[in-house]
Chains A and B, each alone.
Chain A
Amino acid sequence: MMYKKYNPAALMSNPEANLNRPYQQCGVSIMDTIADPDITFDEKGISNYYYEYLEAEKSDTKRGEEGENLQRFWAERIKSRPGKNGYNCILGLSGGADSTYLAFLAKKLGLNPLLVHFDYGWNSEIATKNVENAVKATGFDLYTVVMDWTEFKNLQRSYFKASVLDLDVPADHMIFGALYKTALKFNLKFVLSGNNVWTEHTLPKSWNYNKFDLVNLKNIHRKFENTPLKHLPALGLWQHAYYQLVRNIEKVPLLNWQEYNRDEVIEIITRELGWKDYGGKHQESVFTRFYQGYILPEKFLIDKRKAHLSTLVFGGQMTKEKATEIMKEPPYDPKMIQQDFEFVAKKLGFSVEEFHKVLNLPNVKHEFYGTDERQRETYYNIMRSIKPLTKAYKKLFRK
């Protein structure tokens, strides 16, 4: 059962896996034609991802004094609008490197964030330990949003049965909902965001699905498990608009405004915040570990490390040779696969046989189950028609 389909060497010569074109790898990075229908190359054999990275780095990131000034400017702005209990912003803390470093940075800038941890039932021990250590070291307060496991489990079961690609949608969707709800509860206007160009810019469109499409999520759930989802912080389009436009909650991407070297960052958080490495990006959750390390490569021929490592290569943080070397290792400790396979099955209430069956269903596109496209169109039309009004409102009330 283990790693039958995902054999990188064999995939190179398999036309189907390369979308019926010859295998090609980016001249700069390790992005390639396997399982990425969107990739294009220029005459020098360099992929679109390289140029897109350079563009994003130019437009979204700042370094040196310019970056520091921007960070300080936002820190002052955040401090000037405190919410309840003296907190002035929200910081989603997963226990991963980026969010832990964000907490370090918030401390350095003199902010007082409420740390929000999202617990959807798949925390690893190291993740909880990292959160605990970060809380202790920074002295910030922690707030946890715990998903009702019965409801969340059923939602995850629906996604497995739907056989769609992005099994991270339920968690990612609810994280945004949870962050906004908590911001509202504590009357906070700012959400510090760990999203950044330096470590996560490269990501083919076909490798995930729109996390905000609640219509798709509900349709998938209705078709399969169809159990109540009453206690999950779902985030509808209108509600999302309400948070952003009416409550004016802003995301602040602090990490983009400074030089960001992953090795240095890990060194700092290990020393200052007692952080421990769990090997690999996004492995703080047993589910994500299993999903990215087993399901994505085996079922969809996607090895996310290609994008993660390529981003580092584009930014000069890693050489292509080093990335190539890392890719020779399997995406997942083979000893762990069997153990995690059984654990994930048990936790989701599948027998091992059932779980095999579900994972072997033919892949289905998310769009097959219906999307929020029409809702979105209506939304944009309304926004366009009331634009003069909102402009006037902003002029009047927000200087």
Chain B
Amino acid sequence: MISFRKRIIPVLLLHKGQLYKTVRFQKPVYVGDPINAVKIFNDKEVDELILLDIDASKKNQEPDFGLITDIVSEAFMPIAYGGGVTQLRHAEKLFYNGVEKVVLNTVLLKGFGLVEEISAKYGAQSVVASIDVKKSLLGKKKVFSHASVSHKMESITEFARLCESKGAGEIMLNSVDRDGTYSGYDLELIQAVSAAVSVPLIACGGASSKADFSSAEKSGSSAMAAGSMFVFQRPHNAVLISYDV
């Protein structure tokens, strides 16, 4: 049997210009300096990396281009960046500085103009639509906004389909409830969304082992992203970068 190498992507979160890791999108724990972390991932020959600034949208800020450039210059692998990208010129500047893909999240809840613009100019492969999913008080999974943007995205699959039709080349699906919990991916959610779209799906939230990657893949995701697993060692969540996949 021919076995293909899985796409396994470390996700790094920027907060106050440094790396942090959250649990359920909250309680950021300090991980360290992003430049050195990316250098280590690079030396580990990681295939791709996702870098998300978790402050930018909340604070209505542009991407920190200087910092991103410094980080990207340590990496030979493609980097997808998200956080505060609200205009075409942001994407342009990021691409110019060596970023491979932009990740759009908050801006999608306000409309799809930017996806269309970037996709038209740079191609669908350069835009990742990121969807955060969280259970409501009543237990129903809903599209969640970490920047508290009110929206009318009732159905997750419908939203994913819209992103695809507007030009997103990939869908990144985050389970907020599983973020930083090591409880495994939300396979049900992956199945539902992967069945609804034909673009590649990146699953995120809950990874704790290689077995989790396999189950997510079987459920229909094309790539598996993970944060805690690659920056922490249990039981003390000791910071140590690893990439054993």
Q: Which residues of A contact B (CB under 8 A)?
A: 117, 119, 121-126, 128-129, 131-132, 135, 141-144, 146, 148-150, 153, 286, 343, 346-347
Contacts and interface: CB of A to CB of B under 8 A. Distances in A.
B41 to A, nearest CB: 8
Given A149-B33, A343-B39, A347-B33, A119 B18 contact: no
A179 to B, nearest CB: 14
A217 to B, nearest CB: 21
27 contacts: A117-B238, A117-B240, A119-B240, A123-B36, A123-B40, A124-B40, A124-B43, A125-B39, A125-B43, A126-B43, A128-B242, A129-B242, A131-B240, A132-B233, A135-B240, A144-B238, A148-B30, A149-B18, A149-B32, A150-B17, A150-B18, A153-B33, A286-B36, A343-B39, A343-B74, A346-B35, A347-B35
A143 B40 contact: no
Contacts of A129: 44, 242
Given A135-B233, A343-B39, A142 B240 contact: yes
Contacts of A128: 40, 240-242
B235 interface: yes
Contacts, number: 67
A149 B18 CA distance: 8
Interface residues of B, number: 24
Closest 7 CB pairs of A and B: A125-B43, A149-B33, A144-B238, A142-B238, A144-B239, A121-B33, A142-B233
B16 to A, nearest CB: 9
B238 A143 contact: yes
Of A121, A131, A143, A146, most B-chain CB atoms within 10 Å: A146
Contacts of B239: 117, 119, 144, 146
Given A135-B233, A146-B32, A346 B238 contact: no
A124 B44 CA distance: 10
Contact of A141 (B17, B44, B73, B236): B236
B147 to A, nearest CB: 25
B31 interface: yes
A350 to B, nearest CB: 13
B43 A146 contact: no
Contacts of B40: 123-125, 128
Contacts of B32: 119, 121, 146, 149
B18 A143 contact: no
Contacts of A124: 40, 43
B70 interface: yes
Nearest to A131: B240
A360 to B, nearest CB: 24
A114 B235 CA distance: 11
B228 to A, nearest CB: 13
Contact of A121 (B17, B36, B73, B233): B36
A170 to B, nearest CB: 15
Contact of A132 (B31, B35, B39, B242): B242
B240 to A, nearest CB: 6
Nearest to B40: A125
Contacts of B35: 346-347
B235 A141 contact: yes
Nearest to B73: A346
A344 to B, nearest CB: 11
A116 B44 CA distance: 22
B154 to A, nearest CB: 42
Contacts of A148: 30
Interface in B1-44: 17-18, 30-33, 35-36, 39-40, 43-44
A141 B236 CA distance: 8
Contacts of A343: 39, 74
B44 A125 contact: yes
Nearest to B232: A144
A286 B73 CA distance: 17
Contacts of B17: 150
Contacts of B238: 117, 141-144
A143 B235 CA distance: 9
Interface in B35-91: 35-36, 39-40, 43-44, 70, 73-74
Interface string B173-203: 0000000000000000000000000000000
B210 to A, nearest CB: 14
Contacts of A135: 233, 240
Nearest to B18: A149
Given A117-B238, A142-B240, A347 B36 contact: yes
A293 B239 CA distance: 28
A143 B237 CA distance: 7
A290 to B, nearest CB: 13
Contacts of B244: 132
Contacts of B30: 146, 148
A124 B43 CA distance: 9
Contacts of B31: 146
A331 to B, nearest CB: 22
Contacts of A153: 33
Nearest to B233: A142
Contacts of B70: 346
Contact of B236 (A119, A131, A142): A142
Nearest to B43: A125
Contacts of A286: 36
Contacts of A117: 238-240
Contacts of A126: 43
A135 B233 CA distance: 9
A346 B235 CA distance: 34
A36 B233 CA distance: 43
A123 to B, nearest CB: 6
Contacts of B236: 141-144
A343 B44 CA distance: 17
Given A123-B36, A144-B239, 11 more contacts: A119-B239, A122-B36, A124-B43, A125-B40, A125-B43, A126-B43, A128-B40, A128-B241, A343-B74, A346-B35, A347-B35
